[in-house]
Chains A and B, each alone.
Chain A
Amino acid sequence: MSTITADMHGHEAAHGHSASFISTYVFSKDHKIIGIQFLFSTLLWFFVGGLLALGIRWQLAYPWQGMPIIGRMLFSAEGGQIAPEFYTVLFTMHATVMIFLVIIPILAGAFGNYLIPLMIGADDMAFPTLNMLSYWFMWPAFMCFGSSFFMSGGPPASGWTVYPPLSVHVGAAPGSLNAQNLWLLGLTLVGISSMMGSVNYLTTIIQMRAPGMTMFRLPMTIWAMFITAVLQAFALPVLTAAGFMQLMDRTIGTGFFLPEGLVVNNSSISAGGGQPLLWQHLFWFYSHPAVYIMILPAMGMVSDIISCFARKPLFGYKPMVYSISGIAGLGFVVWGHHMFVSGMNPALGMTFMVSTMMIALPSAIKTFNWLGTLWGGNIQYTTPMLFALSFVSMFIIGGLSGIFMAATPVDIFIHDTYFIVAHFHYVLFAGTAMGVFGAIYFWYPKMFGRLMNESWGKVHFLLTFIFLNGTFFTMHILGANAFPRRLADPYHYQTFHHLLPLNRFMTWCAIGMVASQIIFAINFVWSMFKGPIAGRNPWHANGLEWMAPSPPGHGNFDFQPIVYRGPYEYNSPEVDTDFYPQTQPPPDTTPNQPPKKPGEH
């Protein structure tokens, strides 16, 4: 072992000499730097997306009143009020930014990159250059989405789902004039980045595990990243192709998505024979699996955090793995549930309804297993644990509200209402984003060598938790009232007139929620310089990443990690401590003799 260690040091030193600042911190091929680059970029976009959300909320609470700050920062139409097309821009770009520039890259890009090699005991990704490119391909995407705000005609405004003909016909919406092309290009670039990432993750996880790290000793995070990468790899080509088809419809006059005899804005188009529903099928064929891409990694990370702070093995590790894998399979056959009232054949709708009901099952199993993990534990209420627990609690809400939509007749009523908005915000914000916060608090000491401030972390948690429920739970009630999404002024309708006070309440909660993130931002930056030094394993966790220095140097480990057991052996009777790192040899075996060597590299 000592020789290996010496080799590793030599390796690191060799790199250290030749590396300039640019190659170390900017065009770095080190998965940790790339992960942190992803983290910083996505957190910045997170802020942008949050502001856009506030714009939406403001209009719903104070329709047509001058919008403070954001209205000034972006556009103000005639007469000092926002223009209705600007409202459509707000929700389009809010969703676009949050999904494509925040959630997907922060999970796969930031945490996937940072954690995969560390958790499986590898010194880096399988393809470091590809990995670097996967980050730098995000920048043209940032440029595309960013500059689309300033195109003549205005930013994209046909919703994040960009349903044709609205998105394809240049006359259908102001934003469809030019900005839509950039939007589609941006999407393609994000896709390329994701694709490079997922190929890399799959190869790394399959090929580069440390000695002794069998597949069933992988932490749940890695399993989740693995399944996510599989989903990406199989679903993304469809979206990319569909995006190009739409781009061609827009630029060179093909008619994939445009029916014959279409008259938009008093001008008809020569192409025809296409089908608007085709886009919806292709889009959701990717975007439904993408929903799991947006939640599975958070589920994995939350499992790790919960087990660590319950000081107890994860309940039902294998059922968890199987249920995640089940999602990967079922996830490909449920896309039609976004289209129950779209005009798709209702008999097909019935089929999708059954498969959709079934995909609720793996989620239920996971939830029960998390509760099982808490049962009989020794729960430590640290900030990451609180975020992880809130993930579970909120995911229960988001999961249960999904059953309403899966029930096709009920979906007739609640489709495109705030019930749906409530559902996916419970999954994506109250779920994924809270999980991500937990993960940041949890792995921050590994990334930067210092702990984040616990008290402020808890304040951040408390405020976010209260405000998010104030904002999103109320949406269920709006949804029950049939309050539709995407209306700039729903109070036009008598049916929704009485919902204004409720919307005001939600808006103030949303403002509070965004403002609470300032605490997080300050804590995040401040702790980088002033936080208490963490040491290798501040949480007394078992995972391999905690055996490396904080922050790990180039090449990650200063010794060759050899894995003897799974990552969740807390409170094992074999040892006196309440944790039992994966690399710690069992008392009765001699070191240097790993029990098995699956995938030597």
Chain B
Amino acid sequence: MGKFWSLLFLAVPVLGVASFVWGWQEKIWLPEDHSANGGAIDHLFYFILALTGVVFVITEGAMFWFMWRYDSRSGKRPPTKFVHGSHTLEVVWTIVPAATLLFIAIYQMNVWADNKMRRPDMANMQDPPVEIEVTARQFEWRFRYPGPDKIIGTADDLFTVNELHVPVNRKILIQLKSQDVLHSFFLPNMRVKQDAVPGMKQPVWFTPTQIGKDDLVCAELCGWGHYKMKGRLIVESQADYDKFLQSLQEYQSATQEPAAAQKKDIP
């Protein structure tokens, strides 16, 4: 039976790698990256995947080989070794993984800093980030855009809910807040995730590069309706974005119901 069990354990790396390849082939894989900042994260993911993949196959393969070769029923089994270890080997397999891990640790720092520490400069006159305030609450996302005065927190602010419009190819700076419990602002296609903590204001930034609609997911348990806290990120051209703000402005200052013929959807 030793051969059977060895093969069963061999199936682990074989099927494991195969299932990843299958997922990749069938596009049951990372959601498409629609951002300028996501590439670096994906690159790191694949880098670690390759590294761990190699280690995975080697260790599982070695395990299979030992199981196959040193099966007590196997006729070709060499005599049992009476060894308590090997100092050299221990040193090697301490130093090599340590160096590798340290390398990964240092290698990724820059990406982390880009995503969480190097906040876009509001004073950058060339390409100022688009600032939007996001307030999470049970169980919806509320968005607040600066009005004509370009400052958030004044009487002319514009409000929407669940549909976040952003212009393409601009740096978006989200001021993330929560009104009640913890939520998490997760844009899978932008590779962005940040918990919203009541009492704190978290900056989140990303640069969408593709026009279209993506999901905005709440990724931190926020109560029984967690699953229905679904938002949508709508990336549009600068012109469309301006148009959207304009229609929001019109809607929000309405003093009359529009005539039936001009009825539009609520922006």
- Interface residues of A, Cβ cutoff 8 Å to B: 83-85, 87-88, 157-159, 163, 165-166, 169, 172-174, 259-265, 275-277, 310-319, 341-343, 346-347, 349-350, 353-354, 357-358, 360-361, 364-365, 367-369, 371-372, 374-381, 386, 389-390, 392-393, 396-397, 400-401, 403-404, 406-410, 412-413, 415-417, 462, 465, 469, 473-474, 476-477, 480-482, 484, 486-490, 492-495, 498-499, 502, 568, 570-573, 578
Contact = CB atoms under 8 A, between A and B. Distances in A.
A499 B28 CA distance: 8
Interface stretch (B57-65, B123-131, B237-245): B57-65
A329 to B, nearest CB: 15
A319 B19 contact: no
A488 B227 contact: yes
B186 interface: yes
Contacts of B44: 407, 409-410
B66 A371 contact: yes
Contacts of B70: 310, 374-379
- List the 10 closest A-B pairs by CB distance, nearest first: A259-B199, A376-B81, A85-B224, A316-B85, A346-B116, A482-B188, A374-B66, A400-B52, A409-B111, A264-B180
B153 interface: no
22 contacts: A159-B221, A263-B179, A264-B138, A265-B138, A276-B198, A316-B84, A341-B184, A341-B193, A353-B105, A358-B98, A361-B98, A371-B59, A371-B63, A372-B89, A376-B78, A410-B44, A413-B188, A480-B23, A486-B226, A494-B215, A495-B214, A499-B28
A554 B70 CA distance: 40
A310 to B, nearest CB: 7
A393 B105 contact: no
A409 B40 CA distance: 9
B248 interface: no
Contacts of B36: none
Contact of B184 (A83, A314, A416, A492): A416
A493 B63 contact: no
Contacts of B29: 477, 480-481
B146 to A, nearest CB: 22
A477 B5 CA distance: 26
Contacts of A462: 8
B181 A169 contact: yes
A347 B109 CA distance: 10
Contacts of A85: 224
B227 A400 contact: no
B86 interface: yes
B227 A315 contact: no
A403 B52 contact: yes
A406 B84 CA distance: 33
B180 A571 contact: no
Interface of B: 1-2, 5, 8-9, 12, 15-16, 19-20, 23, 28-31, 40-41, 44-45, 48-49, 51-52, 55-56, 59-60, 62-63, 66-67, 70-72, 77-78, 80-86, 89-90, 93-94, 97-98, 101-102, 104-105, 108-109, 111-113, 115-117, 138, 179-182, 184, 186, 188-189, 191-200, 202, 214-215, 217, 219-228, 230
Nearest to B117: A346
A126 B5 CA distance: 42
B108 A408 contact: yes
Given A319-B90, A404-B48, A416-B184, A172 B227 contact: no
Given A365-B93, A365-B94, A165 B115 contact: no
B1 A84 contact: no
A397 B189 CA distance: 27
A484 B217 contact: yes
B217 A495 contact: yes
Contact of A571 (B2, B63, B82, B198): B82
A343 B192 CA distance: 13
B46 to A, nearest CB: 10
A360 B227 contact: no
Contacts of B30: 480-482
Nearest to B3: A381
A343 B41 contact: no
A289 to B, nearest CB: 20
A88 B28 contact: no
B19 A400 contact: no
A413 B41 contact: yes
A49 B32 CA distance: 36
Nearest to B101: A357
A463 to B, nearest CB: 12
Given A357-B105, A495-B31, 11 more contacts: A310-B70, A357-B104, A365-B97, A374-B63, A404-B52, A409-B40, A412-B116, A480-B30, A484-B217, A488-B227, A568-B84
A396 B60 contact: yes
Contacts of A172: 138, 180-181, 223
